[in-house]
Amino acid sequence: MVQNYSREGARVPGEWEEEAVARFAGEVNRFISLFCCRRPDTFLRNTCSHWDVWRGRRLSLPLLVVDGARNQAAICSIRSHYADYTAEEARRRLRGRLQLPVVLVGLAALGRLIDTFRLDRVVFVNHWLLSSNPTPPLDLATLAHMTADLRKRYPDRALVIRSLNPLTGRGLLQTCSAEGFQLVRSRRVWIFDPKYCDYKKNRDILRDLRKLHTSGSDRNGMQATPDDVPLLASQYRQLYVAKYSRYNPDFTEEFFHATLVGNILEYRTLRGADGLDGFVAWYDGREEMAGELVGYDVSKPRELGLFRQSMAAQFEASLRTGRRLNLSSGNSSFKRFRGARPVLEYDAVYCRHLPVGVRTAWHSLSALLLLWECITRGRYE
């Protein structure tokens, strides 16, 4: 049976308060203690990088320092994200269409621009190895202090803050612009806001919730345990790496174990008579959630609706808490029909300390990506 969900407890977005900063500081310190003491490839197979940490007065932030190797995961590579992964998507979505050769030529030129000016040698600020990183509570003074420190520490690399959008960025986009960061179009993500969705009138959400609660998959509270880790890793990898793209993050069992036992992510599982059928995991922030991981047994019949059930678990949590839900990119029709709306996500890039040729290359990359957005809006994604 579909339940009623109260919006009590939902908070109105506003300026960062001391309580919120303290909470984020505690969460990021837990992440740093779990992850930054080990090599990034302990948790992510397709990365060539190393950790560093910036420590400020009120909070610290993990830094992922990327060396620009090819074929890295799109979450930690400028080239993979903007050129290689997009070309792979174009081949799949535009197969047989006349515009495909033109698109591929353009993306190849984009890759050459990145290679020529070594734009892939960057420092990712506040990188949690996630597709949608939590938004750090950076006011202008803290951001200016951090930027001054890091441009001295890394004089030959751009500083990049990922996963910023106008809905869940809490003003950080404007703060970054004021500090001289360039906003580079990253991708189109889908945001579900329960305050603006009457779920009782949304046939798709109701059907998915009914499926979740009548299938029996959500028994035992859907909680994941450390014993589930091998299957969590396997089901995710079968779906997102083996089936979809080598540029998706190839997480190891250590990643799933650390994010589960360290309470970095909230995990919910789907269990059938013979064990784990699927799972979903999200980051639960103060005012928003971010869907990060989905996996299921791809050998099971489609009629079970394991993907729809996994997504329903996230929608249910969003409806219960009143928090916005960042559904990331992809599966546009699925998310639109359930009341999500598209929002542009940006990378905030600081490159003012770099040579004029590199700065010009970043500006050119930004302009080309805005052109790409204009060309593909409503047709490609």
Report the CATH number at residue 285. 3.40.630.30
Do 106 and 209 lie in one domain? The reply is no
Residue range(s) defining the domain that contains residue 133? 36-189+345-376
Do 68 and 174 lie in one domain? The reply is yes
pLDDT score for 284 = 93
Residues in the chain, how many? 381
Do 151 and 204 lie in one domain? The reply is no
pLDDT score for 48 = 94
pLDDT score for 233 = 98
> Residues in the chain with pLDDT < 70?
1-16, 170, 218-221, 375-381
Residue 10, domain member (yes or no): no
Residue 219, domain member (yes or no): yes
Residue 288, domain member (yes or no): yes
pLDDT score for 128 = 98
Residue 381, domain member (yes or no): no
d(CA 177, CA 130): 23
Pair of tokens at residue 156 = 């030959």
Residue 263, domain member (yes or no): yes
158-164 vs 182-192, strand pairing mode: unpaired
H-helix or E-strand spanning residue 204: helix 203-214
Do 164 and 253 lie in one domain? The reply is no
Q: Each residue of 247-305: pLDDT tens digit?
A: 999 999 999 999 999 999 999 999 988 889 999 999 998 778 999 999 999 999 999 99
pTM of the model: 0.91
Q: Tell me how many domains the chain contains.
A: 2
Residue 81, domain member (yes or no): yes
d(CA 354, CA 20): 34
d(CA 164, CA 344): 9
pLDDT score for 114 = 96
Do 211 and 308 lie in one domain? The reply is yes
Do 312 and 334 lie in one domain? The reply is yes
Do 248 and 270 lie in one domain? The reply is yes
pLDDT score for 218 = 62
CA pseudo-torsion sign 48, 115, 130, 298: negative
pLDDT score for 97 = 75
